[in-house]
Amino acid sequence: MSDNDGHKIIDGSLTDILNSTEQNIYSVTFKNNFELNNNSLFENVDIIEHGEKTIKVNLNEIQPQYFIKSISKEFEITEFRKINPSLHQLFLNLVQSK
Amino acid sequence: MLEIRNISKIFGAKTILHNLSFNVPKGKIYGLIGPNGAGKTTTLRIILNILPSSSGEVLFKNKKFDYDFLNSTGYLPEERGLYPKSKVKKILTYLGKLKGLSSKECENKTQYWLERLELTQYSNYLLEELSKGNQQKVQFISAILHDPEILILDEPFSGFDPVNQTIFRDIVEELKSEKYIILSTHLMDLAESLCDEICLIMMAIKLLTVL
């Protein structure tokens, strides 16, 4: 026999919920075209999207300050921005983790 | 404040909702979201007294939310329920009167909303002669015609094309300052752009094994 047992997972201000979601994903834009070329600076991160000048990267356990410091030695960065999950992504994460 | 306190719903041996609580503040759009079968529509029906809860209570302005408040409530159900053989203007006038409006108020407000939603030309059409999107608009008008303080919208965007979704979204935004609005939807992009607060409910499937 099955039970739906619908219950509350999360509630509150949508902005606060999205801001508080732990996700170490950043968008990085470089001045010039970006080529990875087996660069060791990116060994412990996951590049999720790779455009000509912009990448989206999951830093996993690496602190963003450390990452910027490391890559700025080789690349000129024009933008570095934290990506918060969308409600769609949050919904998928919560549903799939159950 | 509209307060939902510890509501549970049990149908026979099946628990549909378990101890659900949340508060809906005035002037905000409150999103009730969750996967299919999580109990969103059941929650809305309990708030509206369409279904009794097995336990818990719903309070509005610190009073038990009962039938006395129904004229303060507008409901757009997920399953559209207006009579298909009714004429648009006639059914809206009828429903407005049921919600306590005078004939004159019904006439004026119906006219306003039909114009606002570009339905004036269909005033004397039967509902079944309208497209799904236009039927949806009429149903939406029936929910807001009496200017309810509480507005409950269950999957309000279904049947709307992107243009009408935008019109609808603008109207809901416009209405929200003086209302308590609960919106249930599966469309996360729209929920994210519209809702100020959300409650995500989810089912916990329990399998009972008989040894």
Q: Do B35 and A11 touch (CB under 8 A)?
A: no
Give CATH 3.30.70 domain extents, chain A.
Answer: 24-82
- CA–CA separation, B1 vs B24, rounded Å? 6
pLDDT of residue B85: 93
Class of CATH domain A24-82: alpha beta
Tens-place pLDDT, residues B72-116: 899 999 887 888 999 999 999 999 999 889 999 999 999 999 999
- pTM, whole model, 2 decimals? 0.81
- The mean of the pLDDT values for chain B is 89
Closest residue, chain A, to B199 (C-alpha): A11
Question: In chain B, where are the structural domains located?
Answer: 2-210
pLDDT band at B204 (very low <50, low <70, confident <90, very high): low
CA atoms within 13 A on the CB side of B18: 15
| CB-CB neighbors (< 8 A) of A95 in chain B | 35, 202
Q: Residue A96: CB partners within 8 Å, gap ≥ 6?
A: none
Position A91 pLDDT exceeds 60: yes
- Locate the DSSP E strands across chain B: 2-11, 14-24, 29-33, 55-60, 63-64, 73-76, 150-154, 180-184, 197-202, 206-207
Q: Which two tokens stand for residue B191?
A: 């929920």
Tens-place pLDDT, residues A33-42: 888 777 787 8
Q: Do A14 and B192 touch (CB under 8 A)?
A: yes
- CA–CA separation, B191 vs B3, rounded Å? 21
| CB-CB neighbors (< 8 A) of B43 in chain A | 6
ipTM of the complex: 0.71
Specify the CATH superfamily of domain B2-210.
P-loop containing nucleotide triphosphate hydrolases (3.40.50.300)
| CB-CB neighbors (< 8 A) of A13 in chain B | 196-197
